[in-house]
Structure 1
Amino acid sequence: MRVRIRHEITQKFEPAARNASAIVRLTPRGHEGQYVQRWTLDLDSDTRFHPQEDAFGNLCHAFTIDGPVAAFTIAAEGEVETQDTTGIVRGTVERFPPSLYLRQTDLTHPSARVSDFAAAVEPQPDDPLAFLHALMEHVHAKVKDAEGPAMGDPLAAEAALEKGAACSGGIAHLFTAAARIAGVPARHISGYLAVDGEAAARHWAEAYVPAIGWVAFDCGRNLCPTEDYVRLAVGLDAVGVAAMRGIGGDIREHVVAFDGRNPPKLQVQVQSQGQN
């Protein structure tokens, strides 16, 4: 399936900033099941992008705008050909062994409540894939998939569990935290979802199964990602896959992602951020 994507981020400063610097992760890489046919980045200011890769192999671009800066808009746009791989992820850039993804973070902190939640799903050493599917269903049953800025500030694992509802990023934190507690390497993924004419920036998780490799899980929708998903960046949590990191301000995001079967609809995400 060919998925068309346009993702705009507008950042405003009041009062105007002396200058603005940021790093963006808005460029997907190809792998089995995902071929990037074309992709562009555009910034409405007189500056240059400096391409680079982060420690996880994500494609990043840094820029600095000389001030005073009242606002700027960055737009990522392109087309990606996708295939359904039943959630199996192969052909990706792998800078670290799977064991690195056992490392917990502040957003996946294994608190007593999260540990009790994870313990409710019985480990299956002889069938880790079955365990992960059971864990996905357990997360789906306990935490409702709620609207929210998936690329903004998702809830930590414990907060998502306590609230009983979270955006896709918070749900992914709970799944990765629980998988790591059980000794299964798990990581956080950002990307896009285009289905039934709806567009969304979305987060999900991947877990490592020795006999298979990395397998993707979207607990909010209770399924392994299909051809409707475009994979963007990988990290230990939402901070590591943030679409933009820089000087805070009022941020507005517009995401249009659609396939040839359905007309596009516009998704608007509004959030206010401080210094990142």
Structure 2
Amino acid sequence: MADEHARPDLPPVVARMWGREAASRRGPKPSLDLARIIAAAVEIADADGLGAVSMNSVASRLGVAPMSLYRYVGSKDELLLAMLDAVSEEPPALDDLPCREYLYVWTKANVELLVARPWALAIAHTGPPMGPRGLRWLDRLLLALADTPLSEGEKVGIATTLSGYALNQASLITALAPAGNADSQLPASSTIYGELLAELVDEESYPALARAVDSQAFVAGSAEWYDQDTDFRFGLDLLLDGIDALIERRTETADTRR
């Protein structure tokens, strides 16, 4: 009878990312490796976007037949997974930062990484990290929470929440960037958007929105839609306040049990 608790096999590309693929001792040394394939794919994505990445385009850049890539990556999806990990860089150092400040720095660095390479956003939305770099980001955040009374499941939940916030904010920044909206009908700023709303909404049909428009809630401090110093910090502080409150509740519970 099969062991129901046996660990699943690592997907081949994940094993290669971690250097856990069994080395072959027969035949000539391969002319390719996963690192070269990923580097070529990243160059294509940086130059022409994710849509230009295919097994054929990567093989062409490397001067090999497309079928030769399948020894290292079984599909384009596997290639994308490896590409995201390759550009993930290293997470911010913990140093002696207080927990809350590190969570801010970690989340902001996550956003900046994705904004620097907008094509990575589409990959990041597909699932949790599996590569060594991506998992170091998770590990460092969990280390920042190590001295709190939170359960390990709650710590992972915080990591998931902050990662989701980073993805959402990076998506907003990318979508609202002026250079990315040359052909769109998006108003040039949130202030202009508010002025347009003033022409569309009335107190009878949209009472709450009309009050927000009348109070100049959409008037931004800059000409842009999104201000990382204000909008990003405001939303993140809401989450961090909730995390602080959870830590305080768990601390009080632990104290009453003593």
Q: When the two structures are superposed, what TM-score results if normalisation uses the length of structure 1?
A: 0.22
- Where relative contact order (Cα < 8 A, 6+ residues apart) is larger, the structure is 1
Q: When the two structures are superposed, what TM-score results if normalisation uses the length of structure 2?
A: 0.23
Q: Which has the higher helix share?
A: 2
Q: Which has the higher strand share?
A: 1
Larger Rg: 2
